[in-house]
Amino acid sequence: MPTFSHCIVATDGAARAGVLHTAHGDVDTPAFMPVGTAGTVKAMTADAVRATGSGIVLGNTYHLMLRPGAERIARLGGLHRFMDWPGPILTDSGGFQVMSLAKLRKLNADGVTFQSHLDGSTHRLTPARSVEIQHLLDATITMALDECTPFPATPEQAQTSMQLSMRWAQRSREAFIPRPGYALFGIAQGSIYPNLREQSARALTSIGFDGYAIGGLAIGEGQATTLAVLDATMPHLPADAPRYLMGVGTPDDIIGAVQRGIDMFDCVIPTRAGRTARAYTARGIFNLRNARFADDQLPLDPDCACPACTRHSRAYLHHLFKAEEMLGPILLTWHNLSYYQALMRGLRSAITERRLDTFASVVRAGWAQEEPT
């Protein structure tokens, strides 16, 4: 069984291309992780997710602990087997969704008690329990429990919240049972304040993790601020360890973050957009519900190798969404994930060939040719 490690094979400015070695196989970085909330990337078979070029997926601890339950998944052989994904899986800590979805939350220094949004049943999540659940799920990468500081927050609120997350990071580290090829990532917080971000990065580094996530971003602060926070945080993280920007983002966000040295991303944008007729393409975003596509014989994106683009016309995709056929979300989710993964491949090649800034300019110029939607 391999040791969990991140080998950086090329750099271009602050950007890095590498390989994540894990117990469940290798992943090329920078990597985009499709979100498989409840043990399925919505509208996709596992084979279809693999066909998009995805090498690692994310599972949501909050959803899985409530249904079907972490102990049940463990009895059934773990999340990999449950969802037919033998490759690497990263699970979040559950903390973010407790705050966004659960009812009657009570937070104290030790953890959070909440009621399920499904049936009102009471549950408690502590750093140790979150890590235990992720162990039961057999997550390749476990995330430390943190509090995602809401935006906006005053410096005082942000500091108090970040310090709580750092204590929980320590407890998560203590609770984590190491196994070869498995990893625990800490999560930096600190809202938009550079000094807090630096403190948080240093605190995590001193605890010591296998990878470092940057949390509490892409929650309303705007792209310029997101990227400024990265600039303030990255210098204080270990150089070689993988860096994961949580919940980000649009293709444009991802390019900006890769240019700043981020290695891993997850976001619901490509899957959610796919279910609502929005397609990410080399020429910008298309809304397939638009009547102008009714007679459009062209492929959605002629450069894309997915079945939506190689087998069908825009007119067919338009028809599927008008007729509310399930195949619309299926094909467009497939396309959007294919587009995201093609972007990640392009970024990796560009870094390896030291032409990242040119690549970014060319890609952005393509989006600017967007046809009106």
Give the residue numbers marked as catalytic.
92, 266
> Reduced to 3 states, what is the DSSP secondary structure of residue 179?
coil
For residue 8, what are the β-bridge partners?
18
Residue 82 sits in the site that holds a copy of itself (CB under 8 A): yes
- 82, 182, 76, 201: which is closest to 134 by C-alpha? 182
For a copy of itself, the closer of residues 49 and 344 by Cβ is 49
96-105 CB contacts, 8 Å cutoff, 24+ apart: 96/62, 96/148, 96/215, 96/246, 96/247, 97/60, 97/61, 97/62, 97/63, 98/62, 98/125, 99/147, 99/148, 99/150, 101/62, 102/62
- Smallest gap from Cβ 358 to a copy of itself, in A, equals 36
What is the longest distance spanned by two Cα atoms in the chain?
Answer: 60
For residue 114, what are the β-bridge partners?
123
- Pick the piece of the chain touching a copy of itself (CB under 8 A) from 38-46, 122-130, 195-203, 232-240: 38-46
Residue 44 sits in the site that holds a copy of itself (CB under 8 A): yes
- 137, 233, 134: which is closest to 184 by C-alpha? 134
Residue 83 sits in the site that holds a copy of itself (CB under 8 A): yes
For a copy of itself, the closer of residues 72 and 105 by Cβ is 72
- Pick the piece of the chain touching a copy of itself (CB under 8 A) from 20-28, 39-47, 94-102, 276-284: 39-47
Give the contact letters, 152-191, x = binds to a copy of itself (CB under 8 A), - = no.
----------------------------------------
For a copy of itself, the closer of residues 120 and 220 by Cβ is 120
Q: State how far the Cα of 91 lies from the Cα of 144, in Å rounded to an integer.
A: 10
Q: Which of 2, 13, 77, 178 binds a copy of itself (CB under 8 A)?
A: 77
Q: Which of 23, 27, 35, 43 binds a copy of itself (CB under 8 A)?
A: 43
Q: State how far the Cα of 357 lies from the Cα of 313, in Å rounded to an integer.
A: 33
Give the contact letters, 301-330, x = binds to a copy of itself (CB under 8 A), - = no.
------x---xxx-xx--xx-xx-xxx-xx
> Reduced to 3 states, what is the DSSP secondary structure of residue 298?
coil
For a copy of itself, the closer of residues 295 and 353 by Cβ is 295
Q: State how far the Cα of 62 lies from the Cα of 188, in Å rounded to an integer.
A: 20
- Is 250:282 a contact under the CB 8 Å cutoff? no
For a copy of itself, the closer of residues 30 and 270 by Cβ is 270
Which residues lie near a copy of itself (CB under 8 A)?
38-40, 42-47, 63, 67-68, 72, 75-77, 82-84, 294-295, 297, 307, 311-313, 315-316, 319-320, 322-323, 325-327, 329-331
